[in-house]
Structures are given as C-alpha cells and as structure tokens.
C-alpha cells in the first residue's frame, strides 16, 4: 500500500522541529565559533546528493530523515568537517553553516532577502564597524543578520516591522544565529510612516516594503546628510514610482537602480558549463544619498529616452510625494 509523504494511515504526522526555541539572552555580536562542536550550536548536515539539513545540536536528541537517524550526541564534542553515518548507512558531512546557508534554510514568514542582494545592500549603504542603520521591513530577519554582523558590537541596527508575527519570526531567527539577542539591535513593531526617531540619526536607511515612497519624509528626518538610502523592491512598477518620487523631492542625489543575477557552474571533468538553474531576478535595488539641509539636488543633464515622458506617462502627484 502506498503511503503519502507526511501522512500515516490517513492522519497527518507532525514534523519534529529542527530547532528548540532560541535563547533570548543579550549577547554581543562577535566572531563565529571555532573548535569542537557544542550543544546549542547550529550545524548543517549535507548528504552525497547535496541535500542540506540545518539543526541545533541538543543532547539526547535524534535527527530523523527518510534516510535514517543520527544521534546528536555522536556529533557534540567533535570537530566540524567530520562525516557521520545514519543507521541506514548514509553519510552526512557536518559543518557549521555560513550565513548564506542559514538564510536559505531559516524558517520564514515573509520572503527572505537573498545573500546576493544582502551583500550588495551592505556595499551600497557603505556599512562598516560602528555604522548606525535603520531597517524598515524586517521580514524573516535574513538581511538583519548581515547588517548586524557588518556594523559589529559598536554599531546599531534598528528594525521597524509593521506586522507583529513577522517581527517574532525575525527575532527567533536572529537570536538563533547569534546565540541570543544582540545588544546592538532593537526591534519596534509599528508603521514606519508613523515612527518617531526621537532625535536619533543614522548613517544609512534600508527599506524593504510595499510602498517605500510613502516613508521618505521620515527617512529625511533621521538620515544624516550624505547618508545612504537603499530600497529593495520586487516589481518595475515599484521601481519607477520610487525613483520618480525621489527625483521630485529634489533632496537626493540621482538614484541608481540595479539587480543582481547569480549563476553557478557545473564542473565535472571536461563537462564545464553553466548550471541549468540560477538565482535570477529576486528584486531591484535603488540607492541614493541625502543632500545637505537646504541644498537642492542637481538637475539631470542627460537627455531622456524617446517616449520616456510621453502622453502615457503619469508622474507622482505632488501631494503624494510629500511636497
């Protein structure tokens, strides 16, 4: 008799979670652990077919899959880079995951910002140790992990999330990655357009939301002169509306838009070719910088493309742009 995946005798079987609840103790962002694997650490097990399983090591606990079982106690206390075998004689390579690996395997509420985009956001915002960053639209916490690691323990990341359920998922994912809640991180559940900065200023602002053009007033109040604004949007409609609104406000440098396409390669003897799969379009990144108070942005000298502002073009309304 055929058995459906995830069901037994017509009843759904609940999957055992891969991770216990993450610690919520305050911690400092620091270097990743090295040395022997300890209880409470995250590890990633990879089989010969490149299937990846991310689990938190817990004493007296067993990892289950359709390819057998492995006791966590057989891994705890051993170095990473070992190969362990399940009771079905299937080999698994055990390593501490990189952040890229963790992001792609973390529990999700909202879609995550992929590592290829997170790396560009860090670069476009010119972040480094000690930077102060405002992030709006925390989602599942993937980008937050990159921001916190970049600014270090001396920096600050403030995350604004409109939905409480997304904020809770993000807090759990970030706390699991860092082994606790970073002291350099603050999360507030509210609408950014109604948020009060209380006089705090930031070196960069990152927006990942449906209508970022509605929050430019708040961004201009809390971003320092010369600070970077990076906006992540998914569609060309959002891309155009955001850029045109930024230009209309005349307080920003000329915005730049880009997307990143990542393609891996198949390498097998003389068979060297691009993989059939690739990380294609995930989103657009818009970057710009705030002008000094009272300074208007320079007018573009570049001639627009034919038809760019033809009869069908509808510019953002002045009142909607906050002007």
Question: Could you tell me if residue 7 is inside a domain?
Answer: no
Q: Are 130 and 151 in contact (CB under 8 A)?
A: yes
- What are the Cα distances from residue 148, in Å, to 128, 129, 155, 235? 10, 10, 8, 27
Number of domains in the chain: 2
| % of the chain residues with pLDDT over 70 | 92
| Same domain, yes or no: 109 and 88 | no
| Same domain, yes or no: 66 and 181 | no
pLDDT digits (tens, 9 = 90+) for 267-283: 999 999 999 988 889 99
| Same domain, yes or no: 79 and 115 | no
**Mean pLDDT: which of 1-5, 229-233, 278-282 is highest?**
229-233
Domain at 120, CATH number: 3.40.50.150
| Same domain, yes or no: 264 and 121 | yes
pTM of the model: 0.88
The mean predicted confidence, pLDDT, of the chain is 90
| Same domain, yes or no: 146 and 90 | no
Domain at 71, CATH number: 3.10.330.20
Question: Could you tell me if residue 321 is inside a domain?
Answer: no
What local confidence, expressed as pLDDT, does residue 8 receive? Answer: 41
| Same domain, yes or no: 65 and 159 | no
pLDDT digits (tens, 9 = 90+) for 60-113: 999 998 889 999 999 999 999 999 999 999 999 999 999 999 999 998 888 899
**Domain enclosing residue 271, as ranges:** 101-289
**What is the average pLDDT across 284-292?**
97
Distance CA 159, CA 194 (A): 14
């Amino acid at each position: 008799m055929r058995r459906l995946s995830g069901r037994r005798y017509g009843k759904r079987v609940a999957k055992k979670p891969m991770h216990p609840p993450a610690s919520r103790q305050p911690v400092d962002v620091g270097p990743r652990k090295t040395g022997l694997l300890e209880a409470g650490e995250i590890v990633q097990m990879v089989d010969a077919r490149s299937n990846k399983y991310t689990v938190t090591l817990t004493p007296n606990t067993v990892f289950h899959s359709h390819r057998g079982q492995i006791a966590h106690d057989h891994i705890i206390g051993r170095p990473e880079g070992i190969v362990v075998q399940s009771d079905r004689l299937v080999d698994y390579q055990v390593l501490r995951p990189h952040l890229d690996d963790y992001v792609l395997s973390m529990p999700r509420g909202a879609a995550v910002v992929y590592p290829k985009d997170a790396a560009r956001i860090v670069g476009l915002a010119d972040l480094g140790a000690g930077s102060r960053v405002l992030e709006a639209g925390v989602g599942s916490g993937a980008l937050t992990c990159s921001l916190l690691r970049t600014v270090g323990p001396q920096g600050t990341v403030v995350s604004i999330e409109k939905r409480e359920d997304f904020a809770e998922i993000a807090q759990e994912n970030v706390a699991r990655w860092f082994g606790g809640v970073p002291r350099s991180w603050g999360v507030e559940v509210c609408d950014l357009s109604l948020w009060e900065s209380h006089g705090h200023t930031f070196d960069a602002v990152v927006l990942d939301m449906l209508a970022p053009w509605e929050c430019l007033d708040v961004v201009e109040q809390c971003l320092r002169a010369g600070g970077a604004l990076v906006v992540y949007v998914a569609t060309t409609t959002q891309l155009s509306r955001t850029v045109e609104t930024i230009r209309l406000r005349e307080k920003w440098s000329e915005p730049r838009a880009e997307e990143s396409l990542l393609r891996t390669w198949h390498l097998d003897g003389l068979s060297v070719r691009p993989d059939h799969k690739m990380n294609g379009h995930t989103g657009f990144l818009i970057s710009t910088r705030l002008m000094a108070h009272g300074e208007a942005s320079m007018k573009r000298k570049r001639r627009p493309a034919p038809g760019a502002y033809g009869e069908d073009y509808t510019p953002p309304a002045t009142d909607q742009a906050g002007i």
